[in-house]
Chain A
Amino acid sequence: MDPEEKTGIIGWGAYIPIYRLPLTEMVRIWGFASETPKTLNVIEKSVAGRDEDAVTMGWEAARNALLRAGINPKDIGAVWFGTESKPYAVKPSATIIAEALGITPSTMATDLEFACRAAGEAIRISIGAVASGLIKYSLVIGSDTAQANPGDILEFTASSAATALIIGPANEAAAVFEASYTYVTDTPDFWRRDHSPYPLHGEAFTGAPAYFHHIENAVKGLLEKTGFSINDFDYAIFHQPNGTFPLRVAKKLGIPKEKVLPGLVTPYIGNSYNSSALIGLAKVLDQAKPGQRILLAPFGSGAGSDAFSIVVTDKIEEKKDKAPKVDDYLKRKKVIDYGLYSKFRRLIKRI
Protein backbone atom coordinates (compact mmCIF):
# COMPACT_ATOMS: atom_id res chain seq x y z
CA MET A 1 0.00 0.00 0.00
CA ASP A 2 1.37 3.43 -0.97
CA PRO A 3 1.64 6.05 1.82
CA GLU A 4 -1.05 8.15 0.14
CA GLU A 5 -3.66 5.39 0.44
CA LYS A 6 -3.35 5.37 4.22
CA THR A 7 -4.39 9.03 4.45
CA GLY A 8 -7.22 11.37 3.55
CA ILE A 9 -8.97 14.67 4.20
CA ILE A 10 -10.85 14.52 7.51
CA GLY A 11 -12.09 18.12 7.36
CA TRP A 12 -11.87 21.11 5.06
CA GLY A 13 -12.65 24.80 5.49
CA ALA A 14 -12.35 28.03 3.58
CA TYR A 15 -12.47 31.74 4.32
CA ILE A 16 -12.98 34.74 2.03
CA PRO A 17 -12.95 38.31 3.41
CA ILE A 18 -16.17 40.29 2.95
CA TYR A 19 -14.67 43.10 0.84
CA ARG A 20 -14.52 42.99 -2.99
CA LEU A 21 -12.71 45.39 -5.28
CA PRO A 22 -14.05 45.47 -8.86
CA LEU A 23 -11.18 45.18 -11.36
CA THR A 24 -12.61 48.23 -13.15
CA GLU A 25 -11.09 50.24 -10.27
CA MET A 26 -7.55 49.37 -11.41
CA VAL A 27 -8.54 50.37 -14.95
CA ARG A 28 -9.88 53.70 -13.64
CA ILE A 29 -6.96 54.54 -11.34
CA TRP A 30 -3.98 53.30 -13.35
CA GLY A 31 -5.10 53.83 -16.95
CA PHE A 32 -5.32 50.26 -18.18
CA ALA A 33 -7.33 49.23 -21.25
CA SER A 34 -10.96 48.73 -20.27
CA GLU A 35 -11.00 45.14 -21.55
CA THR A 36 -8.17 44.04 -19.19
CA PRO A 37 -10.49 42.43 -16.57
CA LYS A 38 -12.23 40.50 -19.35
CA THR A 39 -8.95 39.16 -20.73
CA LEU A 40 -8.10 37.93 -17.21
CA ASN A 41 -11.62 36.49 -16.77
CA VAL A 42 -11.84 38.06 -13.30
CA ILE A 43 -14.63 40.42 -12.17
CA GLU A 44 -13.69 41.27 -8.58
CA LYS A 45 -10.96 40.44 -6.11
CA SER A 46 -11.39 39.79 -2.38
CA VAL A 47 -9.62 42.22 -0.05
CA ALA A 48 -8.75 41.56 3.59
CA GLY A 49 -10.08 44.21 5.97
CA ARG A 50 -7.89 46.46 8.09
CA ASP A 51 -8.02 44.02 11.03
CA GLU A 52 -7.26 40.93 8.93
CA ASP A 53 -4.08 39.21 7.80
CA ALA A 54 -2.90 35.73 6.80
CA VAL A 55 -3.13 34.61 10.45
CA THR A 56 -6.72 35.71 11.08
CA MET A 57 -7.92 34.31 7.75
CA GLY A 58 -6.06 31.06 8.35
CA TRP A 59 -7.64 30.81 11.80
CA GLU A 60 -11.16 30.98 10.37
CA ALA A 61 -10.47 28.48 7.57
CA ALA A 62 -8.90 26.12 10.12
CA ARG A 63 -11.83 26.57 12.50
CA ASN A 64 -14.17 25.53 9.68
CA ALA A 65 -11.97 22.51 8.92
CA LEU A 66 -12.07 21.53 12.61
CA LEU A 67 -15.88 21.82 12.66
CA ARG A 68 -16.06 19.38 9.74
CA ALA A 69 -13.39 17.06 11.17
CA GLY A 70 -15.11 16.81 14.56
CA ILE A 71 -11.82 15.91 16.27
CA ASN A 72 -10.18 17.11 19.46
CA PRO A 73 -7.73 19.90 18.47
CA LYS A 74 -5.17 18.37 20.87
CA ASP A 75 -4.98 15.31 18.57
CA ILE A 76 -3.41 17.43 15.81
CA GLY A 77 0.33 16.73 15.69
CA ALA A 78 1.41 19.32 13.11
CA VAL A 79 0.29 22.74 11.91
CA TRP A 80 1.85 23.63 8.57
CA PHE A 81 1.09 27.13 7.38
CA GLY A 82 1.73 27.90 3.71
CA THR A 83 1.95 31.62 2.96
CA GLU A 84 4.01 34.30 1.28
CA SER A 85 2.45 37.13 3.28
CA LYS A 86 3.06 36.19 6.89
CA PRO A 87 2.62 39.06 9.33
CA TYR A 88 6.06 38.57 10.92
CA ALA A 89 9.29 37.97 9.01
CA VAL A 90 10.52 36.16 12.13
CA LYS A 91 7.94 34.70 14.55
CA PRO A 92 5.85 31.82 13.30
CA SER A 93 2.27 32.36 12.23
CA ALA A 94 1.59 28.65 12.73
CA THR A 95 2.01 28.91 16.49
CA ILE A 96 -0.46 31.81 16.77
CA ILE A 97 -3.13 29.80 14.96
CA ALA A 98 -2.24 26.59 16.82
CA GLU A 99 -2.59 28.35 20.16
CA ALA A 100 -5.79 30.20 19.27
CA LEU A 101 -7.40 26.92 18.19
CA GLY A 102 -6.35 25.02 21.32
CA ILE A 103 -3.84 22.78 19.51
CA THR A 104 -0.70 23.77 21.47
CA PRO A 105 1.65 22.81 23.06
CA SER A 106 2.19 19.18 21.98
CA THR A 107 2.45 19.73 18.22
CA MET A 108 4.82 20.61 15.42
CA ALA A 109 4.15 24.03 13.91
CA THR A 110 5.94 25.92 11.19
CA ASP A 111 5.47 28.32 8.29
CA LEU A 112 6.34 27.11 4.81
CA GLU A 113 7.20 29.33 1.84
CA PHE A 114 7.16 28.36 -1.84
CA ALA A 115 5.26 31.23 -3.47
CA CYS A 116 1.73 29.91 -4.11
CA ARG A 117 2.35 26.20 -3.49
CA ALA A 118 3.81 25.93 0.02
CA ALA A 119 0.48 24.52 1.21
CA GLY A 120 0.61 21.99 -1.64
CA GLU A 121 3.90 20.69 -0.34
CA ALA A 122 2.44 20.73 3.19
CA ILE A 123 -0.16 18.21 1.98
CA ARG A 124 2.57 15.85 0.77
CA ILE A 125 4.54 16.27 4.02
CA SER A 126 1.31 15.51 5.91
CA ILE A 127 0.73 12.35 3.90
CA GLY A 128 4.20 11.14 4.90
CA ALA A 129 3.83 12.08 8.56
CA VAL A 130 0.35 10.57 8.94
CA ALA A 131 1.06 7.41 6.92
CA SER A 132 4.22 6.71 8.93
CA GLY A 133 2.33 6.97 12.21
CA LEU A 134 4.46 9.91 13.40
CA ILE A 135 1.26 11.95 13.95
CA LYS A 136 -2.46 11.18 13.81
CA TYR A 137 -3.68 14.40 12.20
CA SER A 138 -2.08 17.42 10.56
CA LEU A 139 -3.56 20.84 9.88
CA VAL A 140 -2.54 22.31 6.53
CA ILE A 141 -3.37 25.97 5.91
CA GLY A 142 -2.90 28.02 2.75
CA SER A 143 -3.51 31.70 3.51
CA ASP A 144 -2.40 34.88 1.80
CA THR A 145 -3.06 38.59 1.65
CA ALA A 146 -1.29 38.70 -1.69
CA GLN A 147 0.83 41.78 -2.35
CA ALA A 148 1.15 43.59 -5.68
CA ASN A 149 2.98 46.73 -6.70
CA PRO A 150 0.27 49.41 -7.16
CA GLY A 151 -0.32 49.86 -10.88
CA ASP A 152 1.30 46.53 -11.81
CA ILE A 153 -0.75 44.01 -13.80
CA LEU A 154 -0.50 41.69 -10.76
CA GLU A 155 -2.66 44.14 -8.80
CA PHE A 156 -5.69 43.11 -10.85
CA THR A 157 -5.70 39.64 -9.31
CA ALA A 158 -3.61 39.63 -6.07
CA SER A 159 -6.29 38.91 -3.47
CA SER A 160 -6.92 37.52 0.01
CA ALA A 161 -8.41 34.20 1.17
CA ALA A 162 -7.53 31.05 3.12
CA THR A 163 -8.22 27.33 2.98
CA ALA A 164 -7.44 24.63 5.54
CA LEU A 165 -7.38 20.83 5.41
CA ILE A 166 -7.13 18.36 8.25
CA ILE A 167 -5.31 15.28 7.04
CA GLY A 168 -5.56 12.00 8.92
CA PRO A 169 -6.17 8.26 8.59
CA ALA A 170 -7.99 7.10 5.45
CA ASN A 171 -10.69 5.24 7.39
CA GLU A 172 -11.94 8.55 8.88
CA ALA A 173 -11.67 10.58 5.69
CA ALA A 174 -14.28 12.40 3.60
CA ALA A 175 -11.88 12.01 0.68
CA VAL A 176 -8.86 9.70 0.48
CA PHE A 177 -5.59 10.27 -1.32
CA GLU A 178 -4.63 7.72 -3.97
CA ALA A 179 -1.35 9.13 -5.26
CA SER A 180 0.73 12.30 -5.38
CA TYR A 181 3.63 13.62 -7.42
CA THR A 182 5.73 16.81 -7.36
CA TYR A 183 7.69 18.52 -10.16
CA VAL A 184 10.05 21.44 -9.36
CA THR A 185 12.78 23.39 -11.19
CA ASP A 186 14.71 26.64 -10.69
CA THR A 187 12.66 29.10 -12.75
CA PRO A 188 12.87 32.95 -12.59
CA ASP A 189 9.16 33.69 -13.13
CA PHE A 190 8.24 35.58 -9.94
CA TRP A 191 10.13 36.62 -6.80
CA ARG A 192 10.29 39.05 -3.91
CA ARG A 193 13.62 39.97 -2.34
CA ASP A 194 14.07 40.56 1.39
CA HIS A 195 12.79 44.04 2.44
CA SER A 196 10.97 44.54 -0.88
CA PRO A 197 7.28 45.18 -0.18
CA TYR A 198 6.09 43.86 -3.54
CA PRO A 199 7.03 40.95 -5.81
CA LEU A 200 8.40 41.27 -9.34
CA HIS A 201 7.81 38.94 -12.27
CA GLY A 202 9.79 37.94 -15.34
CA GLU A 203 7.12 38.68 -17.92
CA ALA A 204 7.98 36.02 -20.50
CA PHE A 205 8.51 33.37 -17.84
CA THR A 206 5.15 33.41 -16.05
CA GLY A 207 3.17 31.41 -18.62
CA ALA A 208 4.71 28.63 -20.70
CA PRO A 209 7.99 27.93 -18.83
CA ALA A 210 6.44 28.27 -15.38
CA TYR A 211 2.71 27.69 -14.90
CA PHE A 212 2.05 25.45 -17.89
CA HIS A 213 5.32 23.49 -17.91
CA HIS A 214 5.18 22.58 -14.22
CA ILE A 215 1.48 21.76 -13.94
CA GLU A 216 1.52 19.70 -17.14
CA ASN A 217 4.53 17.72 -15.97
CA ALA A 218 3.17 17.20 -12.46
CA VAL A 219 -0.10 15.86 -13.88
CA LYS A 220 1.72 13.67 -16.42
CA GLY A 221 3.93 12.33 -13.61
CA LEU A 222 0.83 11.47 -11.57
CA LEU A 223 -0.79 9.70 -14.52
CA GLU A 224 2.36 7.66 -15.21
CA LYS A 225 2.64 6.72 -11.54
CA THR A 226 -0.99 5.61 -11.24
CA GLY A 227 -1.80 4.34 -14.72
CA PHE A 228 -4.90 6.55 -14.70
CA SER A 229 -6.07 8.40 -17.78
CA ILE A 230 -7.31 11.97 -17.65
CA ASN A 231 -10.83 10.62 -18.25
CA ASP A 232 -10.79 8.88 -14.87
CA PHE A 233 -11.24 12.23 -13.09
CA ASP A 234 -14.61 13.90 -12.41
CA TYR A 235 -13.11 17.24 -11.35
CA ALA A 236 -9.85 19.03 -12.15
CA ILE A 237 -8.57 21.86 -9.95
CA PHE A 238 -5.46 23.82 -10.87
CA HIS A 239 -3.73 26.85 -9.38
CA GLN A 240 -5.84 29.84 -10.43
CA PRO A 241 -3.68 32.95 -11.02
CA ASN A 242 -6.45 34.30 -13.25
CA GLY A 243 -9.64 32.97 -14.79
CA THR A 244 -8.08 31.83 -18.07
CA PHE A 245 -4.89 29.85 -17.21
CA PRO A 246 -6.73 26.94 -15.49
CA LEU A 247 -8.99 26.52 -18.54
CA ARG A 248 -6.00 26.69 -20.90
CA VAL A 249 -3.94 24.11 -19.00
CA ALA A 250 -7.01 21.87 -18.86
CA LYS A 251 -7.37 22.12 -22.63
CA LYS A 252 -3.70 21.23 -23.12
CA LEU A 253 -4.22 18.16 -20.92
CA GLY A 254 -7.41 17.17 -22.73
CA ILE A 255 -9.74 17.94 -19.83
CA PRO A 256 -13.15 19.45 -20.72
CA LYS A 257 -13.89 22.80 -19.07
CA GLU A 258 -17.02 21.33 -17.43
CA LYS A 259 -14.68 19.45 -15.06
CA VAL A 260 -12.77 22.66 -14.20
CA LEU A 261 -15.59 25.19 -13.77
CA PRO A 262 -17.04 23.72 -10.49
CA GLY A 263 -13.75 24.53 -8.71
CA LEU A 264 -12.93 27.79 -10.49
CA VAL A 265 -13.23 30.55 -7.86
CA THR A 266 -10.76 33.13 -9.21
CA PRO A 267 -13.28 34.98 -11.47
CA TYR A 268 -15.12 36.06 -8.28
CA ILE A 269 -12.26 36.66 -5.81
CA GLY A 270 -8.98 36.86 -7.76
CA ASN A 271 -5.81 34.89 -7.01
CA SER A 272 -5.47 34.08 -3.32
CA TYR A 273 -2.00 32.55 -3.79
CA ASN A 274 -1.57 29.69 -1.28
CA SER A 275 -5.35 29.37 -1.05
CA SER A 276 -5.87 29.61 -4.82
CA ALA A 277 -6.02 25.92 -5.79
CA LEU A 278 -7.08 24.77 -2.32
CA ILE A 279 -10.19 26.95 -2.23
CA GLY A 280 -11.13 25.35 -5.54
CA LEU A 281 -10.77 21.97 -3.81
CA ALA A 282 -12.92 23.21 -0.88
CA LYS A 283 -15.62 24.33 -3.31
CA VAL A 284 -15.57 20.95 -5.06
CA LEU A 285 -15.70 19.05 -1.73
CA ASP A 286 -18.72 21.21 -0.79
CA GLN A 287 -20.60 19.61 -3.72
CA ALA A 288 -18.84 16.30 -4.55
CA LYS A 289 -20.52 12.89 -4.31
CA PRO A 290 -19.04 9.67 -2.90
CA GLY A 291 -16.95 7.78 -5.44
CA GLN A 292 -15.99 10.82 -7.49
CA ARG A 293 -12.29 11.31 -8.29
CA ILE A 294 -10.61 14.73 -8.06
CA LEU A 295 -7.38 15.93 -9.69
CA LEU A 296 -5.72 18.69 -7.66
CA ALA A 297 -2.65 20.54 -8.95
CA PRO A 298 -1.38 23.58 -7.03
CA PHE A 299 1.46 25.61 -8.58
CA GLY A 300 4.01 27.98 -7.08
CA SER A 301 6.47 30.28 -8.78
CA GLY A 302 10.12 29.59 -8.55
CA ALA A 303 8.75 27.00 -9.61
CA GLY A 304 6.87 23.80 -8.87
CA SER A 305 3.60 21.93 -9.00
CA ASP A 306 2.07 19.03 -7.09
CA ALA A 307 -0.54 16.67 -8.48
CA PHE A 308 -2.89 14.68 -6.26
CA SER A 309 -5.50 12.03 -7.02
CA ILE A 310 -8.27 12.17 -4.42
CA VAL A 311 -11.39 9.98 -4.17
CA VAL A 312 -14.49 11.12 -2.27
CA THR A 313 -15.92 8.70 0.34
CA ASP A 314 -19.44 8.33 1.75
CA LYS A 315 -18.35 10.22 4.88
CA ILE A 316 -18.46 13.48 2.93
CA GLU A 317 -22.21 13.94 3.19
CA GLU A 318 -22.25 14.14 7.00
CA LYS A 319 -19.51 16.81 6.97
CA LYS A 320 -20.65 19.24 4.28
CA ASP A 321 -23.11 21.24 6.38
CA LYS A 322 -21.03 21.43 9.57
CA ALA A 323 -19.35 24.71 8.54
CA PRO A 324 -19.99 27.58 6.11
CA LYS A 325 -19.35 26.64 2.46
CA VAL A 326 -17.29 28.51 -0.12
CA ASP A 327 -20.56 29.66 -1.70
CA ASP A 328 -21.66 31.20 1.63
CA TYR A 329 -18.51 33.32 1.63
CA LEU A 330 -18.87 34.18 -2.07
CA LYS A 331 -22.40 35.47 -1.47
CA ARG A 332 -21.35 37.59 1.53
CA LYS A 333 -19.71 40.68 0.07
CA LYS A 334 -19.31 44.43 0.27
CA VAL A 335 -17.99 46.24 -2.78
CA ILE A 336 -15.31 48.84 -2.01
CA ASP A 337 -13.40 51.42 -4.06
CA TYR A 338 -9.65 51.87 -4.59
CA GLY A 339 -9.45 54.35 -1.70
CA LEU A 340 -10.72 51.92 0.93
CA TYR A 341 -8.66 49.12 -0.65
CA SER A 342 -5.56 51.34 -0.29
CA LYS A 343 -6.30 51.84 3.40
CA PHE A 344 -7.04 48.16 4.08
CA ARG A 345 -3.91 46.93 2.26
CA ARG A 346 -1.70 49.69 3.76
CA LEU A 347 -0.81 51.35 0.49
CA ILE A 348 -1.05 54.78 2.13
CA LYS A 349 2.04 55.91 4.02
CA ARG A 350 1.26 57.70 7.29
CA ILE A 351 3.71 59.26 9.72
Chain B
Amino acid sequence: MRFSIPRFWREKPGHYFLRGTRCKACGRINYPPSKICRYCGSRDTEEVDLLEPGRVVTWTVIYSAPEGFEEYKPIIIAMVELINSKARILTQLTDIDPSEIKEGMIVEPVLRRINEDGETGIIHYAIKFRPVIGGISDKQE
Protein backbone atom coordinates (compact mmCIF):
# COMPACT_ATOMS: atom_id res chain seq x y z
CA MET B 1 0.00 0.00 0.00
CA ARG B 2 1.68 3.18 -1.15
CA PHE B 3 -1.21 5.49 -0.34
CA SER B 4 -2.83 5.96 3.05
CA ILE B 5 -6.40 4.62 3.02
CA PRO B 6 -7.42 6.54 6.19
CA ARG B 7 -6.14 9.78 4.70
CA PHE B 8 -8.19 9.50 1.53
CA TRP B 9 -11.25 8.39 3.50
CA ARG B 10 -10.82 11.45 5.75
CA GLU B 11 -10.36 13.77 2.77
CA LYS B 12 -13.46 12.58 0.86
CA PRO B 13 -15.46 15.81 1.44
CA GLY B 14 -12.67 17.80 -0.17
CA HIS B 15 -12.18 15.33 -2.99
CA TYR B 16 -15.88 14.83 -3.84
CA PHE B 17 -17.42 18.22 -3.01
CA LEU B 18 -14.52 20.72 -2.81
CA ARG B 19 -15.68 21.39 0.73
CA GLY B 20 -14.36 24.62 2.20
CA THR B 21 -15.52 27.06 4.87
CA ARG B 22 -17.18 30.46 4.60
CA CYS B 23 -16.38 33.05 7.23
CA LYS B 24 -19.59 34.56 8.57
CA ALA B 25 -17.65 37.60 9.79
CA CYS B 26 -15.83 38.70 6.62
CA GLY B 27 -17.66 36.54 4.05
CA ARG B 28 -14.53 35.07 2.50
CA ILE B 29 -14.06 31.45 1.51
CA ASN B 30 -11.31 29.32 3.05
CA TYR B 31 -10.19 26.44 0.86
CA PRO B 32 -8.93 24.03 2.11
CA PRO B 33 -11.42 24.49 4.95
CA SER B 34 -10.37 26.11 8.19
CA LYS B 35 -12.41 26.54 11.37
CA ILE B 36 -10.54 29.80 11.95
CA CYS B 37 -10.75 32.28 9.05
CA ARG B 38 -7.32 32.78 7.52
CA TYR B 39 -8.23 36.32 6.51
CA CYS B 40 -9.80 37.85 9.65
CA GLY B 41 -9.22 35.27 12.41
CA SER B 42 -12.92 34.80 13.18
CA ARG B 43 -14.02 31.42 14.50
CA ASP B 44 -17.54 31.95 13.14
CA THR B 45 -17.31 29.79 10.01
CA GLU B 46 -19.60 27.35 8.16
CA GLU B 47 -18.91 24.52 5.73
CA VAL B 48 -19.64 25.21 2.06
CA ASP B 49 -19.29 23.06 -1.07
CA LEU B 50 -17.58 24.71 -4.01
CA LEU B 51 -18.75 22.62 -6.98
CA GLU B 52 -19.17 25.49 -9.43
CA PRO B 53 -17.47 26.68 -12.62
CA GLY B 54 -14.46 28.94 -12.53
CA ARG B 55 -11.87 30.73 -14.63
CA VAL B 56 -8.26 29.64 -15.07
CA VAL B 57 -5.97 32.21 -13.42
CA THR B 58 -2.63 30.48 -13.96
CA TRP B 59 -1.23 26.97 -14.36
CA THR B 60 1.84 24.77 -14.44
CA VAL B 61 2.58 21.43 -16.08
CA ILE B 62 4.23 18.47 -14.32
CA TYR B 63 6.17 16.24 -16.70
CA SER B 64 8.06 14.30 -14.02
CA ALA B 65 5.28 12.79 -11.92
CA PRO B 66 5.63 10.98 -8.60
CA GLU B 67 5.12 7.21 -8.30
CA GLY B 68 1.49 6.24 -8.88
CA PHE B 69 0.82 9.24 -11.10
CA GLU B 70 3.11 8.42 -14.06
CA GLU B 71 0.36 7.31 -16.44
CA TYR B 72 -1.53 10.57 -15.95
CA LYS B 73 1.32 12.71 -17.35
CA PRO B 74 1.39 15.50 -18.24
CA ILE B 75 -0.39 16.62 -15.07
CA ILE B 76 -1.75 20.15 -15.27
CA ILE B 77 -2.13 22.01 -11.97
CA ALA B 78 -4.15 25.21 -12.27
CA MET B 79 -5.28 28.00 -10.01
CA VAL B 80 -9.00 28.46 -10.73
CA GLU B 81 -11.08 31.37 -9.46
CA LEU B 82 -14.63 30.14 -8.90
CA ILE B 83 -17.23 32.34 -10.54
CA ASN B 84 -19.82 32.70 -7.76
CA SER B 85 -17.84 32.32 -4.55
CA LYS B 86 -14.67 34.01 -5.91
CA ALA B 87 -12.66 31.37 -4.03
CA ARG B 88 -9.30 30.53 -5.60
CA ILE B 89 -8.43 26.85 -5.57
CA LEU B 90 -5.58 24.68 -6.82
CA THR B 91 -6.88 21.81 -8.95
CA GLN B 92 -5.97 19.52 -11.84
CA LEU B 93 -7.22 20.26 -15.35
CA THR B 94 -8.31 17.35 -17.55
CA ASP B 95 -9.51 16.70 -21.13
CA ILE B 96 -7.13 19.42 -22.34
CA ASP B 97 -3.60 19.62 -23.73
CA PRO B 98 -1.27 22.15 -22.07
CA SER B 99 -1.04 24.04 -25.39
CA GLU B 100 -4.81 24.65 -25.37
CA ILE B 101 -5.06 26.34 -21.97
CA LYS B 102 -5.83 30.06 -21.95
CA GLU B 103 -5.94 32.47 -19.05
CA GLY B 104 -9.57 33.26 -18.21
CA MET B 105 -11.03 30.16 -19.88
CA ILE B 106 -14.12 28.79 -18.13
CA VAL B 107 -13.77 25.34 -16.60
CA GLU B 108 -16.19 23.16 -14.62
CA PRO B 109 -15.80 20.45 -11.96
CA VAL B 110 -15.91 16.75 -12.87
CA LEU B 111 -15.18 13.59 -10.88
CA ARG B 112 -12.11 11.72 -12.15
CA ARG B 113 -9.51 9.23 -10.99
CA ILE B 114 -6.51 10.95 -9.45
CA ASN B 115 -4.45 7.83 -8.80
CA GLU B 116 -4.68 4.18 -7.87
CA ASP B 117 -2.70 1.98 -5.55
CA GLY B 118 -1.19 -0.36 -8.15
CA GLU B 119 -3.27 -3.03 -9.90
CA THR B 120 -4.92 -4.29 -6.71
CA GLY B 121 -5.24 -1.35 -4.31
CA ILE B 122 -7.80 1.39 -3.74
CA ILE B 123 -8.72 3.75 -6.59
CA HIS B 124 -8.88 7.39 -5.57
CA TYR B 125 -11.43 9.71 -7.11
CA ALA B 126 -11.51 13.49 -6.82
CA ILE B 127 -12.78 16.61 -8.52
CA LYS B 128 -10.76 17.98 -11.44
CA PHE B 129 -11.79 20.77 -13.82
CA ARG B 130 -12.27 20.61 -17.61
CA PRO B 131 -13.37 23.10 -20.27
CA VAL B 132 -17.08 23.81 -19.84
CA ILE B 133 -19.60 21.93 -22.00
CA GLY B 134 -22.77 23.23 -23.59
CA GLY B 135 -22.59 26.79 -22.26
CA ILE B 136 -24.58 25.87 -19.14
CA SER B 137 -22.05 27.37 -16.81
CA ASP B 138 -21.85 30.66 -18.73
CA LYS B 139 -25.45 31.28 -17.71
CA GLN B 140 -24.47 31.06 -14.06
CA GLU B 141 -22.14 34.04 -14.31
In the complex, identify which listed stretch (B20-28, B33-41, B107-115) lies at the interface while the others stay far away.
B107-115
B63 interface residue, CB < 8 Å from A? no
Q: Which of B17, B114, B125 has the most A CB atoms < 10 Å from its CB?
A: B125
Separation of A96 and B123 alpha carbons in the complex (Å): 11
Contact A49/B94 with A100-B125, A324-B133 known, Cβ cut-off 8 Å: yes
A28 interface residue, CB < 8 Å from B? no
- The chain B residue sitting closest to A53, CB to CB, is B113
B103 interface residue, CB < 8 Å from A? no
Over the window 7-31 of chain B, the binary record of Cβ atoms lying under 8 Å from chain A Cβ atoms (1 yes, 0 no) is 0000010001100000000000000
Within 8 A of B (CB), among A36-91: 49-53, 55-56, 59-60, 67, 87-88
With both chains docked as a complex, state the minimum distance between the C-beta of A122 and any C-beta of chain B, in angstroms. Answer: 21
- Give the contacting residue for B133; candidates A49, A88, A100, A328; CB below 8 A: A328
B141 interface residue, CB < 8 Å from A? no
Asked if B112 and A51 sit within 8 Å, CB to CB, the answer is yes
B66 interface residue, CB < 8 Å from A? no
Asked if B16 and A56 sit within 8 Å, CB to CB, the answer is no
Residues from chain B with Cβ under 8 Å of A329 in the complex: 133
Asked if A49 and B95 sit within 8 Å, CB to CB, the answer is yes
A6 interface residue, CB < 8 Å from B? no
Residues from chain B with Cβ under 8 Å of A52 in the complex: 112-113
Over the window 87-114 of chain A, the binary record of Cβ atoms lying under 8 Å from chain B Cβ atoms (1 yes, 0 no) is 1100000001001101000000000000
A18 interface residue, CB < 8 Å from B? yes
A201 interface residue, CB < 8 Å from B? no
- The chain A residue sitting closest to B127, CB to CB, is A100
A192 interface residue, CB < 8 Å from B? no
With both chains docked as a complex, state the minimum distance between the C-beta of B105 and any C-beta of chain A, in angstroms. Answer: 14
With both chains docked as a complex, state the minimum distance between the C-beta of B94 and any C-beta of chain A, in angstroms. Answer: 6
Residues from chain A with Cβ under 8 Å of B6 in the complex: none
Over the window 89-114 of chain B, the binary record of Cβ atoms lying under 8 Å from chain A Cβ atoms (1 yes, 0 no) is 00000110000000000000011111
Over the window 74-98 of chain B, the binary record of Cβ atoms lying under 8 Å from chain A Cβ atoms (1 yes, 0 no) is 0000000000000000000011000
- The chain A residue sitting closest to B97, CB to CB, is A334
Asked if A51 and B113 sit within 8 Å, CB to CB, the answer is yes
Asked if B133 and A51 sit within 8 Å, CB to CB, the answer is no
- Give the contacting residue for B136; candidates A18, A55, A324; CB below 8 A: A324
Separation of A87 and B123 alpha carbons in the complex (Å): 8
Asked if A323 and B136 sit within 8 Å, CB to CB, the answer is yes
B128 interface residue, CB < 8 Å from A? yes
Separation of A96 and B110 alpha carbons in the complex (Å): 14
A225 interface residue, CB < 8 Å from B? no
Asked if A50 and B95 sit within 8 Å, CB to CB, the answer is no
Residues from chain B with Cβ under 8 Å of A100 in the complex: 16-17, 111, 125
Residues from chain A with Cβ under 8 Å of B95 in the complex: 18, 49, 334
Over the window 7-31 of chain A, the binary record of Cβ atoms lying under 8 Å from chain B Cβ atoms (1 yes, 0 no) is 0000000000010000000000000
Residues from chain B with Cβ under 8 Å of A102 in the complex: 17
With both chains docked as a complex, state the minimum distance between the C-beta of B72 and any C-beta of chain A, in angstroms. Answer: 6
Over the window 108-141 of chain B, the binary record of Cβ atoms lying under 8 Å from chain A Cβ atoms (1 yes, 0 no) is 0011111000000001010010000110100000
With both chains docked as a complex, state the minimum distance between the C-beta of B10 and any C-beta of chain A, in angstroms. Answer: 14
Separation of A67 and B140 alpha carbons in the complex (Å): 13
Asked if A332 and B111 sit within 8 Å, CB to CB, the answer is no
Asked if B125 and A56 sit within 8 Å, CB to CB, the answer is yes
- The chain A residue sitting closest to B119, CB to CB, is A346
Residues from chain B with Cβ under 8 Å of A87 in the complex: 123
B67 interface residue, CB < 8 Å from A? no
Asked if A51 and B16 sit within 8 Å, CB to CB, the answer is no
With both chains docked as a complex, state the minimum distance between the C-beta of A85 and any C-beta of chain B, in angstroms. Answer: 13
With both chains docked as a complex, state the minimum distance between the C-beta of A325 and any C-beta of chain B, in angstroms. Answer: 7
A343 interface residue, CB < 8 Å from B? yes
Asked if A60 and B110 sit within 8 Å, CB to CB, the answer is yes
Separation of A9 and B134 alpha carbons in the complex (Å): 22
Separation of A18 and B131 alpha carbons in the complex (Å): 11
- The chain A residue sitting closest to B133, CB to CB, is A324
- The chain A residue sitting closest to B132, CB to CB, is A324
Contact A51/B136 with A87-B123, A88-B123, A100-B16 known, Cβ cut-off 8 Å: no
Ordered by A's residue number, 11 sampled pairs between the chains whose C-beta atoms are within 8 Å are: A49-B94, A50-B72, A51-B72, A51-B114, A52-B112, A55-B111, A56-B125, A59-B111, A100-B16, A102-B17, A323-B136
8 additional A-B pairs beyond A51-B128, A56-B110, A56-B112, beta carbons within 8 Å, are A49-B94, A52-B112, A53-B113, A87-B123, A100-B111, A324-B134, A325-B134, A350-B71
Q: Which 10 A-B pairs have the closest CB atoms?
A: A324-B134, A328-B134, A51-B112, A100-B16, A59-B111, A51-B113, A324-B133, A18-B95, A56-B111, A56-B112
